[in-house]
Amino acid sequence: MAARRIVPLLVIGFFCVADADSAGADAESPAWLELQREASGQTVYFNAWGGDLAINRYIEWAAERVRERHGVHLVHVKVTDIAESVSRIMAERVAGRDADGSVDLLWINGENFAALKEAGLLWGPWTGRLPNAALIDWRGNPTLLIDVTLPTEGFELPWGTSTFTLFYDRSTAPTRSQSAPRNPAALLAWIEAYPGRFTYPQPPAFLGTAFLKQMLLLLTDDAHRLQRPAGEDFDEVSAPLWVWLDRAHARMWRRGRLFPRSGPAQRELLAVGELHWMMSYNPAEASRAIRQGELHETIGALHLEGGALANSHFLAIPYNAGSKAGAMLIADFLISPEAQARKSDEDVWGDPSVLNVEDLAAADRMLFESLARGAATPSPPARLLPEPHPSWAILLEREWLERYVR
Amino acid sequence: MRRPSVLILLAVSVVPTFAGLAAALWFGLDAAGFMRVLDTPGIGLSLASSVWTGAAATLLSLVLAHLAVAVSVTGGWRRRLNAFSLPLLAMPHLAIGIGLALVLAPSGLLLRLLSPWATGFTEPPDWLSVQDPYGLSLIAGLIVKETPFLVLVLFAALPQVPAERLMLQARSLGYGRLKGWMVAVAPLLQVQIRLPLAAVLVFGLTNVEMAIPLGPDLPPTFSVVLWRWFIDADPAIHAQAFTGTLVLLFVTVLAVFIASRLARLIAVLWRRWAESGSRLRGERAVRGALDATLGGVWSLGILALVAILLRSVSGPWRFPDILPDSGELSTWSAVLPVAGNVAETTILLAAATAVAGVILVLPAAERLRHDAALGRKLGAWLFLPLLLPQMTFLFGVQVLLVYLGLDGTFAAVLWSHLIFALPYLWGVLAPARAAIDPRYLAVARTLGAGPVRAWTTSTAPLMLRSMLLAMALAFSVSIALYLPSLFAGAGRIATAATEAAAAAGSGTLRLAAVHAILLAVLPLAAFGAAYAAGAAVFRNRREVPR
Amino acid sequence: MTASMYALTVRQVRLRVSGEALFAPLDLHVPAGTVTSVIGPSGSGKSSLLAFLCGTLTPEFEAEGCVLLGDDDISELPPEKRGLGILFQEPLLFPHLSVRGNLLFGLRADGGRRARHRIADRELDSMGLAGFGDRDPATLSGGQKARVALLRVLLAKPRALLLDEPFSALDDANRAKVRQLVYEEIRRRKLPTLLVTHDENDTAHAAGPVVALTPP
């Protein structure tokens, strides 16, 4: 993997927590064997977003494996927004259901993690007890330890990584790869030169907000400021973003009077030729879509110079989970080289791995190296930009609505 | 308690409606909540666009429907108009909305058919033709659905009016067919259809089914704002939706009131027009324009269906190709297992609605067969839920279901569907029962049959065709229902409508199209099956009522 | 009001349903200001003949022959262009219009609203219905309704009149009065008139030729 420059603040955060929980346990240790015995026969309710067929199928595959090997029953509770599960756990606390809760394992990150952790509703730290935790690329990727400015402290286990990536149609005259814009100024120049072919999903849709954060990180003078909660200086710090957006909207798709409602909606618009651009947190999204016959083969990808907005997504166990051993066993399987390699397979899901592939045993490394990377998947970005403090996203969304809903 | 069958009907339909309304008021009346609702950016524009699109679509549909009935009845092509209406009536709002979004978008079917040979476009133009801020595409969508509905309602009212003789009188006084009908017959029909027309207006103002795929964004119509709040996971925003539905109720009641005042004013102007004595010239041109408009409305509906079919199977589909280039079935193969489960739930629910509905309605129809006045009164009560914004009382119903521990169950969703199917079932079955000559039953009884055997051997066969039609109708109503499934199902019961709406809500029209196929095809199949079954059973019987 | 100067002529009219003729070929000549009566038992084709004259015959009929007003052949004109006024058994006043509204509906469009109202009120006055202009037609007696219906037809200035058993729904007292009124107006306005009826009294008072529809 290419070396990455890391924002200094995160390096500090990394060393603070790295020793505590990232070491990983021995798979033959009595404690782990005991846990396996305890887990056998348990049913684990895995609350995870169910909006993507490929992901649902992947979870089904994992469920079969852990049942065959460990006798653990994984039930995928498909939620439309993990915040639903967060509210349910909070409701259970209020109702006094402190054991045998309805959620055993959650797919989570960012503000939902912050909410549960601050309320003391997560069990842990537990990630250090997993044998496979030792394989994680703790040093290479700071977002594995700091989840949207909040240290994970062993309460959640990295499952996959996300990198904000732009995709464009190489077959359309203006966007031949050499001239593809790679910084905000060049992107604005492109939008003004070829009106009507660029847009972004409408905030507060997940990817739309991500685009605002990505552009703000590149446009502001002081990116470090965004790591701390937003305050009085919000207007001042965010000003360059609004200047950029005001100019871009005037020449964007539908002149900025209509926006795609989600990332997938934007992808459909690219597929029918209305747009020349789309964006995703998953660098392999276009390659996967091309293989599944949803996009043309002329799609290319790029990360903007100055760094790609990045975060990770995690697995966490609620304080009142009834099947903690089963949940840990499943989590350990989900970060095994076998499961992680399959997850990064663009034919399956295409979600980048959290493991340090270079240090894996040869056979495990082969699992990853045999995977073909699609032409529309970019090489990892030169620099990762960590997510701003969550308060920024909230204020950006509010300000965006105030400005553009008129 | 002399009429238990009638009371049961009211208990299933009217009681929960009022209970829901009461619960919505109880939980939604909250001053701070109102302030939060009114503080939402763009909320004024949202309300205005709800009122504008609902009112404009209702008025235009009404005018088109009256003109269509006038021209078809006086021109002798009433059957053709019926044939025209049926497919548009059978397809749910949601399916037509999704289909029209796929037809009218700059990259949609319509421009593909014309490009590049006629338009010169090799790339889709950057037009706001769908989801335009003025709501024009939403209005067009509503017209495609509401015009055929109002045509059907007008036809149903026609036997109450001596139309033929009034027309002869008007024409002998020197009036052409169009003006003669519009001033001599249409006002009498108009009086008869006030209730269904109010339902159309209320639906236009409060629907999400058309507004999600076709309505404006930035801001969306008010009902879509409420819908987004409702499905938001944040409890604070969810609570805001409660207060919002009361605002919606207030606006709706106000709009219906203003519309009724406006109707009086129009009636006065209409009489002035009748009394002006002017014999309209250029009727031929008007009829030509009308034929073209109706043809356009119909073509849009049919194109919507074609677009749904094409889009659901397509891979990448670059403009201006008329057909998708890789006719791969990849989406289908990916979606089919899921769609299979959804189809099962959808069909089961619709069939249960049809069967339970007929079982509930038949005894009451039997009981009231000689009491036309009471029958009409019951019909009006059953119609009540169609005159309220669905969201307002469904919100309350949902709270009650949670309280009873019934939310998210099949039974709860079935119940919510029955509320909306009963008025249609009553509308078909009550007149059919009343029309049967009582002497048939008397003959059966004197021949020695007991009451049950007499009913099954004489009344039931004579009503079979109506029952089949009623069941097809209830089946289709159930297929089309979205908000009731969402609210009573607590997001846990997935039907074709909930899936299609969710996909359309996130803008993924292709996934929406896959579910919209079920929405469009199942009602058509149900009506087809009902007609075919009726025809097969009575293929050698000419006088069995249709 | 200008008097009509036309005669109504019916020439060699035959009506057939699926090839079968309803009556023998019919020839009539009705001079202006006179009434010709057509009688026949029910089913003899009286109403079909009226429909043919009005131009509202349904397509299952085949028709031959022509209808002339003066020298104009009106057989191919649409109903509203024929200039034939018709009075039915029921007065068929439009229930959503006032009495005056019904008359204004008949009155040809010219002059302002106020002038038209004056004409309507004057005509009501002349029929002994002064002050009835704003009444709901439903509140009128049978005889009053019949008079309003007659006025309405006359205000449309027809060139000929067709009467479809117009007096049969009235009670005895009213029938004679209305009948007299109608025949007076016909003579005064010199309208050629065709009366279709099975009531011998109607034909007797019409004082014109009586033609019986006979099977072919």
Tens-place pLDDT, residues B19-39: 999 998 888 888 888 999 999
Greater confidence (C205 vs B367) lies with B367
B107 close to A (CB below 8 A): yes
B319 touches chain A (CB under 8 A): yes
B75 interfaces chain C, CB cutoff of 8 Å: no
Query: From start to end of A246-320, where are the E strands?
Result: 277-280, 299-302, 308-316
Which pLDDT does position A42 carry in this prediction? 96
Q: Is the peptide bond before B116 cis (omega within 30 degrees of 0)?
A: yes
Closest-CA distance, B181 to chain C, in angstroms, reads 12
Q: Is the peptide bond before B320 cis (omega within 30 degrees of 0)?
A: yes
Please report the pLDDT score of residue B329 as a whole number: 57
Question: Smallest CA–CA separation between B374 and chain C, in Å?
Answer: 26
Categorize the per-residue pLDDT at B2 as very low, low, confident or very high, splitting at 50, 70 and 90.
Answer: low
Contacts of B279 in chain C (CB under 8 A): 80, 108-109
Q: Does B317 touch chain A (CB under 8 A)?
A: yes
The alpha carbon of residue C110 is apart from the nearest alpha carbon of chain B, in Å, by 8
- What are the C-alpha distances in Å from A47 to residues A44, A50, A116, B230? 9, 9, 14, 21
In Å, what is the CA distance from B146 to each residue of A385, B22, B52, B528, C181? 52, 30, 16, 22, 50
Say whether residue A293 is in contact with chain B using an 8 A CB cutoff. yes
Residue of chain B whose alpha carbon sits nearest to that of C99: B275
Instruction: Report pLDDT for B234.
Output: 77
Q: Which of B123, B128, B319 sits opposite A254 (nearest CB)?
A: B128
* B173–C105 CB contact, under 8 Å: yes
Instruction: Determine the pLDDT at residue A10.
Output: 42
CA–CA min distance A214, chain B (Å): 22
pLDDT of residue B67: 93
Q: Is the pLDDT of residue A11 over 80?
A: no
Burial zone of B40 (CB within 10 Å; 0-12 exposed, 13-18 middle, 19+ buried): middle
- Whether B220 has a pLDDT exceeding 90, the answer reads yes
pLDDT band at B522 (very low <50, low <70, confident <90, very high): very high
pLDDT at A173: 56
Distance CA B233, CA B33 (A): 17
What band does C41 get if pLDDT is binned at 50, 70 and 90?
Answer: confident
Q: In the predicted model, what is the mean pLDDT of residues C125-145?
A: 92
CB atoms B509 and A265 under 8 Å:
yes
What integer is the mean pLDDT of A135-164? 93
Quote the pLDDT of residue A17.
42
Q: Is it the case that residue C173 has pLDDT exceeding 90? A: no
Of C79, C108, C109, nearest to B171 by CB-CB distance is C79
Report for B268-277, B397-406, C162-171: range of highest mean pLDDT:
B268-277
Q: What is the pLDDT of residue A117?
A: 94
| CA of B166 vs chain C CAs: smallest distance (Å) | 7
Per mean pLDDT, which range of B47-51, B317-321, B482-486, B493-497 is the poorest?
Answer: B317-321
Residue B509 touches partner A, C-beta closer than 8 Å: yes
A254 in contact with chain B, both atoms CB, cutoff 8 A = yes
DSSP label of C24 = S
Contacts of B326 in chain A (CB under 8 A): 293
Average pLDDT over residues A49-78: 91
Q: What's the gap in Å between the CA of C116 and the closest CA on chain B?
A: 8
Q: In the predicted model, is pLDDT for residue A382 greater than 70? A: yes
- The residue of chain A nearest to residue B215, with distances taken between CA atoms, is A258
Decide if B5 contacts B364 (C-beta within 8 A): yes
Mutation to test the B interface, candidates C96, C99, C114, most B Cβ within 10 Å: C96
User: By mean pLDDT, which of A161-175, B52-66, C102-116 is the weakest?
Assistant: A161-175
Rounded to the nearest angstrom, the minimum Cα separation between B158 and chain C is 16
Please state the three-class secondary structure of B59-107 as a single string: HHHHHHHHHHHHHHHHHCCHHHHHHHHHHHHHCCHHHHHHHHHHHHCCC
> With an 8 Å Cβ cutoff, are B176 and C86 in contact?
no
Nearest to C156 among B162, B166, B174 (CB): B174
Provide the Cα torsion B127, B131, B137, B138; round to 10°.
180
A404 touches chain B (CB under 8 A): yes
Q: What is the rounded CA–CA span in Å between residue B316 and residue A275?
A: 13
Q: What mean pLDDT value characterizes chain B?
A: 90
B184-208: average pLDDT: 96
Least Cα separation, residue B108 to chain A (angstroms)? 9
Confidence of residue B335 (pLDDT cuts 50, 70, 90): low
**pLDDT for position A120:** 94
Burial annotation B489-518 (CB, 10 A radius, 16+ → b, else e) = bbbebbbbbbbbbbbbbbbbbbbbbbbbbb
CB contacts of B502 in chain A (<8 Å) are 80
How many residue contacts between B and C have a Cβ separation below 8 Å?
88
Q: What is the pLDDT of residues B100-139, one digit of tens each?
A: 999 999 999 999 999 899 999 999 999 999 999 999 999 9
Tokens found for residue A172 = 């359309």
Confidence label for A53 from pLDDT (cuts 50, 70 and 90): confident
What's the mean pLDDT in C129-141?
A: 93
Of the listed ranges A146-155, B448-457, B512-521, C147-156, the one predicted with least confidence = B448-457
* CB hemisphere CA count around B252 (13 angstroms): 26
On the question of pLDDT at A111 being above 80, the answer is yes
Of C124, C55, C73, C137, the C-alpha closest to B167 is C55
Q: Which amino acid belongs to residue C65?
A: G
pLDDT at B326: 61
Cβ–Cβ below 8 Å for B128 and A83: no
**β-bridge partners, A310:** A163, A386
Check whether A9 has a pLDDT greater than 60.
no
Listed ranges A313-322, B282-291, B322-331, C65-74; the one with the highest mean pLDDT:
A313-322
Q: Between chains, do B334 and A261 touch, taking CB under 8 Å as contact?
A: no
As a whole number of angstroms, the distance between CA B478 and CA B346 comes to 8
Residue in B with minimal Cα distance to C108: B277
The answer, yes or no, to whether A and C have at least 3 beta-carbon pairs within 8 Å is: no
**pLDDT-derived band of residue A397, with 50, 70 and 90 as boundaries?**
very high
**Residue B281: pLDDT above 80?**
no
Flag whether pLDDT at A358 surpasses 80: yes
Cβ–Cβ < 8 Å for B500, B519:
yes
Question: Percent of chain B scored above 70 by pLDDT?
Answer: 97
Query: Contact, A333 vs A142, CB < 8 A?
Result: no
Spatial separation of the C-alpha atoms in residues A106 and B500, rounded to whole Å: 27
Q: Any idea what DSSP says for residue A227?
A: G
Which of B45, B123, B230 should one mutate to test binding to chain A, selecting the residue with the greatest count of A CBs within 10 A? B123
ipTM of the complex: 0.91
**Computed over its alpha carbons, how large is the radius of gyration of chain A?**
21
Q: How does residue B333 score in pLDDT terms, banded at 50, 70 and 90?
A: low
Confidence (pLDDT) at B277: 87
CA distance B118 to chain A (A): 19
Separation between Cα atoms, residue A330 and residue A46, nearest integer Å? 10
pLDDT at A20 over 60: no
Q: Residue type at A256?
A: G
Q: Which residues in chain C touch residue B174, judged by CB atoms under 8 angstroms apart?
A: 80-81, 83, 108, 156
Yes or no, beta carbons of A272 and B338 under 8 Å apart: no
* Per-residue confidence (pLDDT) for residue A13, from 0 to 100: 41
Q: What is the pLDDT of residue A12?
A: 40
- Where is mean pLDDT largest: B223-237, B243-257, C73-87, C109-123? B243-257
Chain A residues with beta carbon closer than 8 angstroms to that of B42: 401, 405-406
Categorize the per-residue pLDDT at A179 as very low, low, confident or very high, splitting at 50, 70 and 90. confident
Please tell me the distance from the alpha carbon of residue B219 to that of residue B179, in angstroms, as a whole number: 42
Token match 């009489």: residue?
A: B271
Which residues contact residue B373 at a Cβ distance below 8 angstroms, ignoring those fewer than 6 apart? none
The model's confidence at residue A1, banded by pLDDT at 50, 70 and 90, is very low
Chain C: closest CA distance from residue B190 (Å) = 11
Instruction: Classify B269 as helix, strand or coil.
Output: helix
pLDDT of residue C2: 43
pLDDT tier at A178 (50, 70, 90 boundaries)?
low
Residue of B161, B164, B165, B169 best to disrupt the C interface, most CBs of C under 10 A:
B169
Q: Is B131 near chain A, with CB under 8 Å?
A: yes
Minimum CA–CA partner of A398 in chain B:
B41
State the DSSP H helix or E strand holding residue B248, giving kind and residue range, or none if neither: helix B235-275
Quick: pLDDT tens for A254-284: 999 999 999 999 999 999 999 999 999 999 9
Does residue B220 belong to the interface with chain A, where contact is any CB pair within 8 Å?
A: no
Peptide bond just before A204 cis, omega within 30 deg: yes
